[in-house]
Amino acid sequence: MRKKLVSVISAVVLTMSLVVGMGTLSYAGSGQPLADGSYLTHDEESIGHATLMTRGVDLQAGYSKVARLGPGKLYAGGTTIANHNVESIQVSVLVERCKKEGAPWECVDGWHKENEDTSTVNSSKVMTVEGGYYYRVRCTHSAGNDMSSSYTNGIFIEEP
């Protein structure tokens, strides 16, 4: 009887995880164009999440974001969050553009921000850019002795 109950519960958990997982937006296998790990989309915005170190004790999370604000305009920025107040917490933001699938990303702008004796740092800009390109944001996140990075998918910015 106990084995049957465990089997039924396992089947229900597996089924629920599959149902929840199917609701997640994914471009994999969709034929969506790809350039150096970033899908080239016509979405309004894209958010990238930092790949965290398994042994890190200071860095909690890092995010990068790019958003279309209109033809020739975009928002770009990044955030770093520590688990606790650290001596130094930093985010470096790079804005890159790409013309088409398989083409290299080229740097358009970049900046760095550091805060001391706190647990968060963020930095962002509203930028006027050349239309007809896909734009993405790459960030490097640093909190205390931990470091990670994140990047977004590319979003298409129209000509003004």
78-112 pLDDT, tens digit per residue, is 999 999 999 999 999 999 999 998 899 999 999 99
Residue with tokens 């001391």: 116
Measured distance CA(115)–CA(107) in Å, rounded: 25
Least confident of 1-5, 54-58, 76-80: 1-5
- Which amino acid does the sequence have at 28? A
pLDDT for residue 14 is more than 50: no
Residue scoring higher pLDDT (5 or 39): 39
pLDDT in tens, 134-154: 999 999 999 999 999 999 999
Measured distance CA(68)–CA(51) in Å, rounded: 24
pLDDT for residue 10 is more than 60: no
Q: What is the pLDDT of residue 126?
A: 98
pLDDT in tens, 105-119: 999 999 999 999 999
Please give the model's pTM, rounded to 2 decimal places: 0.80
Structure tokens that stand for 87 in this block: 């001596």
Are 153 and 137 in contact, with CB atoms under 8 Å apart? no
Are 95 and 75 in contact, with CB atoms under 8 Å apart? no
Q: Report the first-to-last Cα separation within the chain, whole angstroms.
A: 68
Measured distance CA(87)–CA(100) in Å, rounded: 42
pLDDT for residue 8 is more than 70: no
Number of C-beta neighbours around residue 83 at 10 A: 15
Nearest to 80 by CA among 152, 135, 148: 148
Which domains does the chain carry?
A: 32-157 (2.60.40)
Measured distance CA(78)–CA(91) in Å, rounded: 7
Q: Find how far residue 80's CA is from the centre of its chain.
A: 12
